[in-house]
Chains A and B, each alone.
Chain A
C-alpha cells in the first residue's frame, strides 16, 4: 500500500463516546499532521509531529488528543466531543529537510466525523 491511509473513512459518535482516528503513511516521511476541514472554513492545522515529537498545537481543545508512536503512525483520540466538532479530519505527511520550505504535504482521504 502506498501514500497516506486513514481509518475509518466515516465515523458517527455520541458526545459521551471515546473513539480514535488512525493514520498511517508509507512514504518514509519524518513529519505528520492533523487538519480539520469544516464547511466554508479554511483548513485548520491542529497538530504537527516532526521526528515523533509534537512541534505544533494550535490551541486545540483537550478533548482532542494526538499520539505519534513512530514516524509512520499518527492517532487522534477523541472524547466527549461536541456537535460542532463534526468535520472532515485530514492526516498529512511530509519530508522536512534541514533548510525546510518547498516540501509539499501528502494527504490521506480523511475521516468524515459526525458527532450526534
Chain B
C-alpha cells in the first residue's frame, strides 16, 4: 500500500522568499513521485515528476524537488516566490510498474504569497 503525507494544509510566504512544500511518502516498492499544481477553478497541472533517474528534478515555473530515499521525502522548492505561484499543490505517488490509476494523492497544500 502507498500513502502520501503533505505537512501543512496552508503555507504563506512573502514575495521573493523561499518556497518549501513538504511531502513524505510510503511505498513498498520504489516509487514514482509527482507534484501537481491547481489554480482556482482549474484542473491539476503537472509540475514535475521523479521516475528513478536523477534525484533532483526540475519542473516548470522554476520549481524543483529532491527525492531522498532515506527520508522518504520529495519536498518541493522554489528559491523566490512570485505572486502567480499562489495555488494549491498536490504530491502524488505511484508504485513503479503500476499505471497512473494507481496514483495516490496527498491532501494538498494551499500556498499564499504575500506582497
Are A and B bound to each other?
yes
The stretch that binds B, out of A41-49, A60-68, A69-77, A79-87, is A41-49
B interface residues, Cβ below 8 angstroms from A = 9, 32, 34, 36, 41-46, 49, 51-52, 90, 94-101, 103, 105-108
Q: How far is the CA of A45 from the CA of B107 in the complex (A)?
A: 13
B105 nearest CB neighbor, chain A only? A43
Q: Is the CB of A42 within 8 A of B101?
A: no
Distance to closest chain B CB from A43 (angstroms):
4
Interface membership of A21, Cβ < 8 A: no
* Known contacts A101-B95, A106-B46; is-contact A96 B100 (Cβ 8 Å): yes
Closest residue to B43 on the A side, CB-wise?
A: A107
In whole angstroms, how far apart are the Cα atoms of A103 and B45 in the complex?
14
- Which residues of the partner chain A approach B36 to less than 8 Å between Cβ atoms? 107
What interface size band does chain A fall in? 20 to 34
Query: Bound state CA distance, A104 and B48, in angstroms?
Result: 9
The chain B residue with its CB closest to the CB of A112 is B41
Contact of A48 among B32, B44, B45, B101 (CB under 8 A): B101
- Tell whether A45 pairs with B42 under 8 Å between CB atoms, given A101-B96, A104-B49: no
> In the assembled complex, which residues on chain B have CB atoms less than 8 Å from the CB atom of A106?
46
27 inter-chain pairs at a CB distance below 8 angstroms, sorted by A residue, are: A4-B43, A31-B99, A31-B101, A41-B107, A42-B108, A45-B103, A92-B43, A92-B44, A94-B100, A94-B101, A96-B99, A96-B100, A100-B98, A101-B32, A101-B51, A101-B94, A101-B96, A104-B46, A104-B49, A104-B100, A105-B44, A107-B36, A107-B43, A107-B45, A109-B42, A110-B41, A110-B43
